[in-house]
């Protein structure tokens, strides 16, 4: 079921979704330093779920891309799929890892860095080697987790053929995720001195078994997209509902006691984001402001990697000024951080394009060689 919409229209709403995702991620990391009121603190902390929106959009676009190229790529479809994915991410991600390592060395000294963890992150094994899952570059856990999901795409594409199959897969992943977390809790408390909830807050939250249901929501959305088309008249309702639910749930504190709560925060926000996507998928993005938001979506990966250093610089200089804090103050700082990150990312995006171009050229070379040998 390849999406049969106009390509420009299709990618506009996806870029807009990525824009919202990165703005949420920046929101939470800015709020950790500048949020003042309890309402704002509760609201900004839920921006962490922007990563889940990234995952949902990723699963959706990966299934669509894999299906769109299924015939044209032929028997080499899997290797071409992985080449496209790796070369889109690798150049900027590697530069980011080197940059943040140098920053750490300059501030805290050569011996402050666990270099083996950096290497593990650069070769995308941090999703497997959990002590390194979220080290350098910051936020690298989501890249490692997504890389593992990439490996599953060819198999999942073969197994999940229908909307009903996607629904069953979603339920199975939620069940398996809970079983794995139950088992983790038992084993950790039985055979180690570690606190389960402390590990759950970090590595056990980040790794793929815990995040796979979120990707499953994206597959579910993709397989049901033509069916959801029947609900186009309700798009405004879905959009308003998703925004209201986000604000309401932002004031609700989900417990970290994962095994005792089958339905977790990331699942709740995944449903909200699916409703949000159904609300925006027919938008026509016109005007300067809309184009700016779409551009933010296009730069979202660059902004994800670069916003950490921007926030740290703002924290260093603005905190030293001892300015009055408050929600309005946070809003000004947030807009400034987003703006500076956007400007930096407009330059960094070139490295993404270089990687994409090199990957595409490599695929063309493979195809040419195969045609000659054939």
Q: What is the share, in percent, of the chain residues with pLDDT greater than 90?
A: 62
Residue 354 tokens, joined: 């270089």
Q: What is the pLDDT of residues 59-92, one digit of tens each?
A: 999 999 998 888 778 888 889 999 999 999 999 9
Q: State the pLDDT at residue 328.
A: 85
Please check whether residue 15 lies inside any domain of the structure: yes
Q: State the pLDDT at residue 255.
A: 59
Q: Check: CB of residue 117 under 8 Å from CB of residue 132.
A: yes
Please check whether residue 299 lies inside any domain of the structure: yes
Please check whether residue 301 lies inside any domain of the structure: yes
Q: Which of 328, 338, 336 is nearest to 40 (CA)?
A: 328
| Mean pLDDT across 130-155 | 93
Q: Check: CB of residue 13 under 8 Å from CB of residue 283.
A: yes
- The residue range of the domain holding 156 is 7-373
- pTM of the predicted model as reported, rounded to 2 decimal places: 0.92
- Report how far residue 82's alpha carbon sits from residue 80's, in angstroms, rounded to the nearest whole number: 5
Q: Check: CB of residue 281 under 8 Å from CB of residue 13.
A: yes
| Mean pLDDT across 283-292 | 90
| Mean pLDDT across 256-266 | 62
- Name the burial class of residue 87, with classes exposed (0-12), middle (13-18) and buried (19+) by CB atoms within 10 angstroms of its CB: buried
pLDDT bucket at 3, cuts 50 / 70 / 90: very low
Q: State the pLDDT at residue 199.
A: 64
| Mean pLDDT across 359-373 | 78
Q: Check: CB of residue 242 under 8 Å from CB of residue 234.
A: no
Angstrom CA distances, 208 to 123, 135, 143, stand at 16, 16, 11
Is pLDDT larger for residue 183 or for residue 277?
277
Q: What is the share, in percent, of the chain residues with pLDDT greater than 70?
A: 89
Question: Which residues does 99 contact at the CB level (< 8 Å), separation at least 6?
Answer: 137, 309
| Mean pLDDT across 314-334 | 82
Q: State the pLDDT at residue 200.
A: 65
Is pLDDT larger for residue 368 or for residue 62?
62
On the CB side of 142, how many CA atoms lie within 13 Å of its CA? 22
* Among 7-21, 84-98, 278-292, the least confident range: 7-21
- Dihedral sign for Cα atoms in the order 297, 301, 302, 308: positive
Structural domains of the chain, count:
1
Q: State the pLDDT at residue 348.
A: 95
Please check whether residue 1 lies inside any domain of the structure: no
How many CB atoms within 10 Å of residue 113? 17
* C-beta pairs of 254-258 under 8 Å, 24+ apart in sequence: 256/197, 256/200, 256/201, 257/197, 258/178, 258/181, 258/185, 258/200
Q: State the pLDDT at residue 2.
A: 43
- Report how far residue 181's alpha carbon sits from residue 300's, in angstroms, rounded to the nearest whole number: 31
Please check whether residue 60 lies inside any domain of the structure: yes
Q: State the pLDDT at residue 180.
A: 86
- Report how far residue 87's alpha carbon sits from residue 127's, in angstroms, rounded to the nearest whole number: 19
Angstrom CA distances, 135 to 145, 318, 366, stand at 13, 26, 35
Residue 358 tokens, joined: 């090199």
Does the pLDDT of residue 5 top 60, yes or no?
no
On the CB side of 183, how many CA atoms lie within 13 Å of its CA? 8
Please check whether residue 193 lies inside any domain of the structure: yes
Please check whether residue 2 lies inside any domain of the structure: no
| Mean pLDDT across 308-313 | 96
Q: State the pLDDT at residue 8.
A: 41
Q: How many residues does the chain have?
A: 374
Q: State the pLDDT at residue 261.
A: 57
């Amino acid at each position: 079921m390849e999406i049969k919409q106009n390509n420009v229209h299709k990618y506009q709403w996806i870029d807009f979704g990525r824009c919202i995702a990165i703005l949420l991620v920046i929101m939470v990391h800015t709020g950790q330093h500048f949020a003042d009121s309890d309402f704002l603190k509760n609201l900004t902390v839920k921006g962490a779920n922007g990563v889940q929106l990234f995952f949902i959009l990723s699963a959706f676009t990966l299934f669509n891309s894999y299906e769109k190229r299924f015939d044209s790529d032929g028997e080499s479809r899997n290797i071409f799929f992985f080449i496209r994915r790796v070369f889109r991410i690798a150049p900027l991600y590697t530069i980011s890892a080197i940059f943040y390592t140098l920053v750490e060395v300059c501030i805290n000294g050569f011996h402050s860095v666990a270099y083996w963890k950096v290497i593990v992150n650069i070769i995308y094994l941090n999703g497997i080697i959990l002590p390194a899952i979220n080290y350098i570059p910051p936020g690298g856990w989501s890249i490692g987790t997504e890389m593992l999901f990439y490996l599953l795409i060819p198999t999942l594409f073969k197994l999940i053929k229908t909307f009903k199959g996607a629904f069953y897969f979603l339920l199975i992943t939620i069940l398996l995720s809970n079983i794995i977390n139950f088992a983790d809790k038992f084993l950790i408390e039985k055979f180690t001195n570690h606190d389960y909830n402390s590990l759950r807050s970090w590595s056990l939250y980040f790794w793929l078994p815990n995040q796979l249901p979120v990707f499953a929501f994206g597959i579910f959305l993709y397989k049901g997209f033509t069916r959801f088309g029947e609900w186009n008249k309700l798009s405004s309702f879905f959009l308003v509902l998703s925004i209201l639910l986000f604000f309401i749930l932002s004031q609700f504190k989900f417990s970290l006691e994962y095994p005792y709560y089958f339905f977790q925060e990331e699942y709740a926000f995944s449903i909200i984001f699916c409703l949000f996507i159904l609300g925006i998928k027919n938008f026509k993005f016109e005007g300067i402001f809309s184009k700016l938001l779409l551009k933010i979506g296009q730069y979202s990966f660059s902004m994800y990697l670069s916003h950490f250093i921007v926030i740290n610089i703002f924290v260093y200089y603005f905190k030293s000024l001892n300015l009055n804090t408050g929600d309005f103050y946070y809003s000004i700082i947030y807009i400034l951080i987003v703006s500076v990150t956007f400007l930096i990312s407009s330059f960094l995006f070139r490295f993404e394009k270089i990687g994409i171009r090199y990957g595409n050229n490599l695929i063309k070379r493979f195809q040419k060689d195969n045609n000659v040998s054939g």
